[in-house]
Amino acid sequence: MNDLSMASTATQKAFDVQAIRRDFPILSQQVNGKPLVYLDNGASAQKPRSVLDAMDRYYREMHSNVHRGAHTLGDRATAAFEGARETVRSFLNAGSTREIIWTKGTTEAINLVANGLAPKLKAGDEILVSHMEHHANIVPWQMIAERTGAKVVPIQVTPAGELDLESFDRLLSDRTRVLAITHVSNVLGTINPVNELVGKAKARGVITLLDGAQAVPHFQPDVQALDCDFYVFSSHKLFGPTGIGVLYGKAALLEDMPPYQGGGEMIERVSFERTTWNVLPYKFEAGTPAIAEAVGLGAAIDYLNGLDRPAMEAAENALMVRANQLVETVPGMSIIGTAKQKVPVMSFKIEGLHPSDVGTLLDQQGIAIRTGHHCAMPLMDFYGVPGTARASFAFYNTLDEVEQLFTALQKIQRLFA
């Protein structure tokens, strides 16, 4: 074992990953007669028992609609629901819970912002995105551009999978109205230099949105330090339930934006002559919200807050270090995305093998990865591939699981060689 491997092992022992794995019931099962090795965390992470218990407790002990109920269960539900909002506010270091909007997920959050900013856009305006964006941060802007006459302009990436900063500097202009960019690439794992990007954009008066869906599972953002106008993420990638996400927005901008949907909760007063809107954050939360899911997201953040975050990040980095070491043990294997700063995401291809075949054969050995274009077709076109196989790691994965992945890939390569 070399020095890097020994350092990786020491880090994982200090983090006590086995104790943490016991908090995640789903990880103890077998798939196709093999112990489950779950490496599809970038698509959806697994849930600790505390999240499952919190949602079960809500339904068993306090289920009611929130806010206007004149009874005890309504008070309990409202306290849990708004308590979760405060937990998210603290997690992001937002200035106020007024700036925390519940959405169905990252996609809806971006659509909400895009539609809210549409009245500010006109023909000739430009919306900067990057070539590495998820479709959720491309398509909503294209739809708004069609309505307003604005144009979506992609910032280029380098072959290593890093943002081309010269391209960004060249494209940022007096025509730029919005910068919408991912904090971390879901395909490449690249951590973008968002502080620098936001700073340059704001110096020109550009509105900024950061897609944090792939960032928040690995590190904790500070929206006030970032000084971005909007930050969005999904619960299910942050070890919480599906069906809920978060839009952080600066209060002044949210106040200026029109509501995204109409109905209950988002109103102040309704008459046939005129309807007026509720205060933030409720102005953007039409209808009965995902109450249990909000409680579950709050519990997920509480769970993360109970971990040694620096040790967690070091343990994840150890997984990536070991995976990179083992690439050379699989003939014909190459990595898509080799940025210097990245989270533990490995997109790869093996010469002569289709990614979907790799995924199917790994599943037969109990190993779950993701294959395809990963909702990033422009990036696949850039690399000239139809898709990749992607292993995405979380803090509950182990060095043994990394070894199992590469042992399985070696078997697959020999089978098809």
DSSP readout, 107-147? HHHHHHHHHHHGGG--TT-EEEEETT--GGGTHHHHHHHHH
In a domain, 38, yes or no: no
Same domain? For 269 and 375 the reply is no
What is the mean predicted confidence (pLDDT) over 344-368?
A: 97
For residue 5, what pLDDT is reported?
A: 39
Q: How many domains would you assign to the chain?
A: 2
Q: How confident is the model at residue 69 (pLDDT cuts 50, 70, 90)?
A: confident
For residue 68, what pLDDT is reported?
A: 81
For residue 14, what pLDDT is reported?
A: 54
Does 331 score more than 60 pLDDT?
yes
Q: Which residue out of 36, 286, 361, 375 is catalytically annotated?
A: 375
228 is catalytic: no
End-of-domain residue from the set 305, 322, 355: 305
Residues 76-101: tens digit of each pLDDT? 999 999 999 999 999 999 999 999 99
CATH number of domain containing 329: 3.90.1150.10
CB–CB of 173/126 below 8 Å? yes
Same domain? For 324 and 298 the reply is no
Helices 3-15 and 309-326 pack at an angle, to 10 degrees, of 150
Same domain? For 115 and 229 the reply is yes
In a domain, 45, yes or no: no
Same domain? For 192 and 279 the reply is yes
Same domain? For 141 and 204 the reply is yes
Q: Which of 194, 198, 200, 178 is nearest to 127 (CA)?
A: 178
Percent of the chain with pLDDT over 70: 97
Place of tokens 């898709």: 387
Domain that holds residue 371: 3-31+308-416
Same domain? For 216 and 230 the reply is yes
Q: What is the C-alpha radius of gyration for the chain, rounded to an integer number of angstroms?
A: 22
End-of-domain residue from the set 259, 280, 305: 305
What is the mean predicted confidence (pLDDT) over 106-114?
A: 98
> What's the chain's average pLDDT?
95
User: Any residues with CB less than 8 A from the CB of 41 and at least 6 apart, and which?
Assistant: 217, 237, 392, 393, 394, 397
227 phi and psi, to 5 degrees?
A: 60, 25
CA distance 135 to 43: 14
Same domain? For 12 and 69 the reply is no
Question: Please, where are the H alpha helices in 2-105?
Answer: 3-15, 17-21, 49-57, 72-92
Residues 252-294: tens digit of each pLDDT? 999 999 999 999 899 989 999 999 999 999 999 999 999 999 9
- Provide the residue type at 375 as one letter: C
